[in-house]
Structure 1
């Protein structure tokens, strides 16, 4: 009888020990677990970072700012699909060619200035911007709350823009593009962030313009990121 009780006590102690070990493993502090996050940046020269260093463009600065503001166990990978001169049509073609995955934790979209600059019909933007927004959502795991649309900078407030005989017309058209994008985003519950006003300080604050006299500088992109970061932190956490 004593042997029987001893065996039962032994089995019971093993069971308790096993449960405790499983509980300990199951309740490990998640802070120690690597949190891998993926960012996709879609656009044109303003996303590509024309005339600034590789780490100076806004997607890279955004990635670095996220890392600086999140626990050490967070890790970010960044994919950029953007080139100088791309219109909405060019971006759609590049996306279809590169075929990104649909598991990104944050997707940014900044597009349209070359539609305006190349005098494309505005109706083209009205058709293709929604298509690009839909693609961005699909890449963000189908979750529109993980998408950020960034407004189009106004290059009228640069030395290059001022060389145009009708720089005011540039601003008027940029406003038209941005208003359409904002209204679309508001209607569809997509985050829209305005940075156009920053670029309209380019003639007063010349350090906001890159050395090419046209594109935003590293300093300007840093100011873009200041506005994007608070919402981006919510979306990737």
Structure 2
């Protein structure tokens, strides 16, 4: 009986056809992703834009371009210098005679107007002109321009021997004027002042002079600016 069962088992195995390899799986070729259009970017400002006291790679606008590289944002052209007021930035723009048009323009100006004790009314008038200049750089498109608020240097280590509360109050007034002017011009306004007010306890947030900001801190500005830039570029 066992021999009979074994015979049929062997017979069954012998009749089994050898397994054949399944047809190889193929994946349809993927179309290459189109390269992002090159986004020319211009950054206008003062010491905070030029990155006083830090390497060029730590400037917030440069970091923004790095974060937005996949979106095509190019390293910025920069018109900025430490100490410039709104009037001095406008004069420098005229002197530069830059006739290029950009897909993205940022503006960050006003701290030196406040530092020198200039009236908010003067700042407002000169900023209004600067915003129109920025819009012209953007090809007449206010929707491609954004402005960063003025950092509160009254909360910096440098300001320990100054009237910090007065500085903060004045910065608020200048920023309120800037926000109003941006709204009227159709320009996006980005508040980074609150971030600067939380930096004081951490020395790594500041450049060696204790007044300007480190690349570590300005990275936060760039991170806040990235979704704004992406929205403007849609």
TM superposition score category, shorter chain reference: 0.7 to 0.9
- The answer to whether 1:133 aligns with 2:135 is no
Query: Map of 1:21-36 to 2, 5 A cutoff?
Result: 31-32=33-34, 35-36=37-38
2:66 pairs, out of 56, 64, 67, with 64
Cα distance between partner residues in 2 of 1:226 and 1:195: 11
Report the counterpart of residue 203 of structure 2 in structure 1: 206
Whether contact under 8 Å (1:105, 1:235) holds in the other structure is no
Whether contact under 8 Å (1:88, 1:112) holds in the other structure is yes
Cα distance between partner residues in 2 of 1:57 and 1:193: 17
Residue segments in structure 1 that go unaligned for 5+ positions in a row: 1-28
Report which of the two structures shows the higher radius of gyration computed on alpha carbons. Answer: 2
How far apart are residue 236 of structure 1 and its match?
3.4
Report the counterpart of residue 40 of structure 1 in structure 2: 42
Q: In structure 2, do the counterparts of structure 1 residues 199 and 131 end up closer, same or farther at CA, with 3 Å as the change threshold?
A: same
Cα distance between partner residues in 2 of 1:63 and 1:51: 20
Cα distance between partner residues in 1 of 2:73 and 2:126: 33
Whether contact under 8 Å (2:41, 2:76) holds in the other structure is yes
Q: In structure 2, do the counterparts of structure 1 residues 121 and 162 end up closer, same or farther at CA, with 3 Å as the change threshold?
A: same
Whether contact under 8 Å (1:102, 1:142) holds in the other structure is no
**CA offset digits 1:32-85 (Å, max 9, x no partner):** 456222100000000010011110010100110110x43xxx362421000000
Whether contact under 8 Å (2:41, 2:104) holds in the other structure is yes
Q: In structure 2, do the counterparts of structure 1 residues 130 and 33 end up closer, same or farther at CA, with 3 Å as the change threshold?
A: same
Cα distance between partner residues in 2 of 1:196 and 1:62: 17
Residue segments in structure 2 that go unaligned for 5+ positions in a row: 1-30
Whether contact under 8 Å (1:42, 1:110) holds in the other structure is yes
Whether contact under 8 Å (1:87, 1:114) holds in the other structure is yes
